[in-house]
Structure 1
Amino acid sequence: MTAAVLERAGRLPGWARSALIAAGLVLILSVTVTLTGQTQLASSGTSEAAVRLGLPILFAALGGLWAERAGIINIGLEGMMVLGTWGAAWAGYQWGPWAAVLGGLAFGALGGLVHAIATVTFNVNHIVSGVAITLLGTGLTKYLATLVFTPVSQNPRQSPRLEGFEQFSVPGLSSGLQALEAQQRVFVSDLAGLLSGLVTGLTPIVVLGFGLVPVSYWILWRTSFGLRLRSSGESPVAAESLGVNVIAHKYVAVIVSGALAGLGGAALVLNPGQLGYLENQVGGRGYIGLAAMIFGNWRPAGLLVGSALFGYVDGLQLRAGGEAVHALLYGATLVAVVVAVLWAIRRMWTATAVALGAGAVVYALYWAFDTVPSEFASYAPQLVTLIVLAAASQRLRPPARLGDEYRRGEGG
């Protein structure tokens, strides 16, 4: 009976499966809060920080989705985000926050265009081109920052403080959720605290980020343009035989990918806690965005869950430090047990043993230490990236011709 339920769940739409996973994670988090006493795990402050820190990752993940659905590996998301940070800071200093958004988008799209020329027109290896874009973006922005920001800030490593967006909260809903959180009821208050961060302290770029998830889904899966773009990544020869301009669709996909990554850079610059360009502020978020997209199996709903997970861990370690990250080890043990039970129901005994073994190792670490040193806690998002990718590797289904060279007329 349970196996039949799991089989039907496997046939659910991607958004429904992602919602079930999110609900399960919230339940496990609530149990962890109750047993460890670490209320910061599900507080509205942590959730609000997670939204701000996860937003750049979400933009990068969406950028990766557009490019890779068209068959182009975009490991250059990091460099495009770096370009976006400088473009946003330069335009925002001149003309305000909306100009910063457009500046980040434009500079990121420029990086995407370079990547498209290299990979689509000249068939350069996608990984080599992506690494080159990242190196180019890092070097170019360092030069431009020295040239432009030194006269006005006396520091070539950062821009002057920028004007940010005015923050707002959803009337009624925000205060109601905060009241529920204050009651400290098991699960209910934890859920209210997590949801409160989604409707409190918002800015227009946060709304834009969340809105682009369904928009990307609709364009890529519900329009003829999206079908042609995805066919360019699945079977470009067959698509060309049906009259699809594969080259044009790949160009559009990679340029949009760069623009979205550039918006991720703008989100970093316009973060209310920073409001400015700072050298090396991207800090690997482009790569984490790529990991979130892979974790989400190249689907919008999945990458949203992945971005939320990485943003949450980052926000938690910044707000609560090593003790809260230490409590997450207990939650990770519970996740491993649940996963092991699911694998056992499907009679996948090797996977069950691996999950139980991983859970035992994590619990041993939780038992052996009282806290996680700050030096390790700061790398928690990167560690979660590695663990999540390792756990998700068995169920991934990338586009069939991802990373392959394509020349017009090669199927003729």
Structure 2
Amino acid sequence: MSTAVTTSAVAPPPPTASAGRSYRWLLIAVGFLAIVSSVRVISGANEIDSVGTLQAALIATCPILLAALGGIWAERAGIVNIGLEGQMILGTWGAAYFTYFYGPWVGLIGAGLLGLVGGILHAVATVTFGVDHIVSGVALNIIAAGAVAFLAEAYFRDLDGGGVRQLTGLSTPPKVEVPWLGDAAGELAAKHWFVVSDLAAVVAALTRNMSIMVYIVAALVALTWWVLWKTTFGLRLRSCGENPQAAETLGVNVYRFKYLAVIISGAFAGLGGYMLVLVSSSGFITGQTGGRGYIGLAAMIFGNWRPLGAAGASTMFGYTDAMQLRNAAAVHALLLLVAVLLFVFMLLRIRQGDRKNAVLFGAVGVGFLVWFLLSDEVPREFAGMTPYVATLLVLALGTQRLRMPAADGKPYRKGQAG
């Protein structure tokens, strides 16, 4: 008697949640690219996503994104890190000093170490002594600004290219160049075809004379996501930001994880200072951060305390920052882009049954559309304010569905679980 083995069709396993999120992010990216391409065609402002614009946007994004990643590390452990701005300021001096004497790779380490020092100060104040997180962060920002001004005058004024407030002529990190791919993509981007040329411009921006630091920052985003969400270490760290008392009963050393998180947070912010000194500009100058630590904090919030969300928000801020350097037509077309995106958000809110916020998004969108139709250009003064206006819009309109870690900013003392 023989047994027939039937190979009946077996239903494939349902897609995992991570696969579903990947498809969603892919759809978001494709949809956004189509919206930008449509605005480019309608307005005729090809500079809105040219290769140069995208490269400037990526470089402007990285310091903000590094600060946002630093904020995620700290706040996922329950520590509010308003001191990101001060830690980034410390990183600018570390980057300049160590790069001048030892080269850009040692400068990268030096920037991280100076930011790390700022993280230690914040951790000692908030974790050990229980100082209010906001008070400690603001104090750190003030101290860092004064310390860097003093260090710059003490160490840079007698150097070649130096002064009491600046240090120029620094070596820069290497750049990535893929000539055959970058040139072909650049030629395709110059044809201004719908979507195709926009996608080619992205490829050309990444493969034509792009700083290697952009790729390192992208790797740090992936590393942060993997460590915090896919490892036991990350689970324990996040438990300290959700319920430290419960974590303590399970044997987690809450103080240790909070210290590590804030120290890593400071190092990330310090690397943001390195980006400002050696990639975004041609040297060090005091006051170089320009509030990007605070904008990074806003990107972290808008990104829902998650690395990929923070990356998307930081890219938006970096893009608006880069647009102020473009021509008047491109900046004017940005009004139409903002209006279209607000209408998209309005439709999403309607689909979710959130009529109140849908009306708010629609009203603001109509305002930007009317501004675009009734004007020929945006005042240059407003273009310089674009990143900060975008920050206010995001925080005002996009925070209704966000959830911060449950114990974020709350005081914790060892033994409370008992």
TM over 0.5: yes
- Establish whether residue 48 from structure 1 lines up as the match of residue 55 from structure 2: yes
Indicate which of 212, 230, 240 corresponds to 1:222. 230
Give the gaps of 5 or more residues in structure 2.
1-14
- Establish whether residue 134 from structure 1 lines up as the match of residue 156 from structure 2: no
Runs of at least 4 residues off by over 4 Å? 8-16
How much does 1:21 deviate? 2.8
User: Structure 1 CA distance, aligned partners of 2:81 and 2:335?
Assistant: 32
Give the greater-gyration-radius structure (CA): 2
- Establish whether residue 125 from structure 1 lines up as the match of residue 124 from structure 2: no
Specify the alignment match of 2:407 in structure 1: 401
1:169–1:202 CA contact under 8 A, matched in 2: yes
User: Structure 2 CA distance, aligned partners of 1:292 and 1:19?
Assistant: 20
Indicate which of 82, 91, 96 corresponds to 1:89. 96
Specify the alignment match of 2:277 in structure 1: 269
Opposite residue 160 of structure 1, the aligned amino acid is T
User: Structure 2 CA distance, aligned partners of 1:348 and 1:403?
Assistant: 29
How much does 1:323 deviate? 2.9
How much does 1:391 deviate? 2.0
- Establish whether residue 110 from structure 1 lines up as the match of residue 122 from structure 2: no
1:32–1:330 CA contact under 8 A, matched in 2: yes
- Establish whether residue 150 from structure 1 lines up as the match of residue 145 from structure 2: no
1:89–1:100 CA contact under 8 A, matched in 2: yes
TM-score, with normalisation over the residues of structure 2?
Answer: 0.92
How much does 1:16 deviate? 4.5
Aligned pair count? 403
Indicate which of 158, 177, 188 corresponds to 2:185. 177
Opposite residue 341 of structure 2, the aligned amino acid is V
Tell me, what secondary structure is at the counterpart of 2:175? Answer: coil
How much does 1:9 deviate? 13
- Establish whether residue 389 from structure 1 lines up as the match of residue 402 from structure 2: no
Tell me: CA distance 1:317–1:386, structure 2 relative to 1, closer, same or farther (3 Å): same
- Establish whether residue 311 from structure 1 lines up as the match of residue 344 from structure 2: no
- Establish whether residue 296 from structure 1 lines up as the match of residue 303 from structure 2: yes
Opposite residue 273 of structure 2, the aligned amino acid is G
Specify the alignment match of 2:381 in structure 1: 375
User: Structure 2 CA distance, aligned partners of 1:168 and 1:12?
Assistant: 30
User: Structure 1 CA distance, aligned partners of 2:293 and 2:341?
Assistant: 26
Opposite residue 185 of structure 2, the aligned amino acid is L
1:67–1:253 CA contact under 8 A, matched in 2: yes
Of residues 171-180 and 100-109 in structure 1, the stretch that sits farther from structure 2 once superposed is: 171-180
1:47–1:195 CA contact under 8 A, matched in 2: no
1:75–1:290 CA contact under 8 A, matched in 2: yes
1:42–1:191 CA contact under 8 A, matched in 2: no
1:48–1:200 CA contact under 8 A, matched in 2: no
Indicate which of 325, 333, 351 corresponds to 2:357. 351
Specify the alignment match of 1:259 in structure 2: 267
Tell me, what secondary structure is at the counterpart of 1:394? Answer: coil
How much does 1:334 deviate? 1.2
Specify the alignment match of 2:294 in structure 1: 287
Tell me, what secondary structure is at the counterpart of 1:281? Answer: coil
User: Structure 2 CA distance, aligned partners of 1:334 and 1:42?
Assistant: 16
Specify the alignment match of 1:5 in structure 2: none
Tell me, what secondary structure is at the counterpart of 1:396? Answer: coil
Q: Deviations over 1:346-389 (max 9, x none)?
A: 33322222122111111122123211111110110111111112
2:130–2:411 CA contact under 8 A, matched in 1: yes
User: Structure 1 CA distance, aligned partners of 2:142 and 2:22?
Assistant: 36
Q: % of aligned pairs identical?
A: 46
Map 1:240-255; keep pairs closer than 5 Å.
Answer: 240-255=248-263
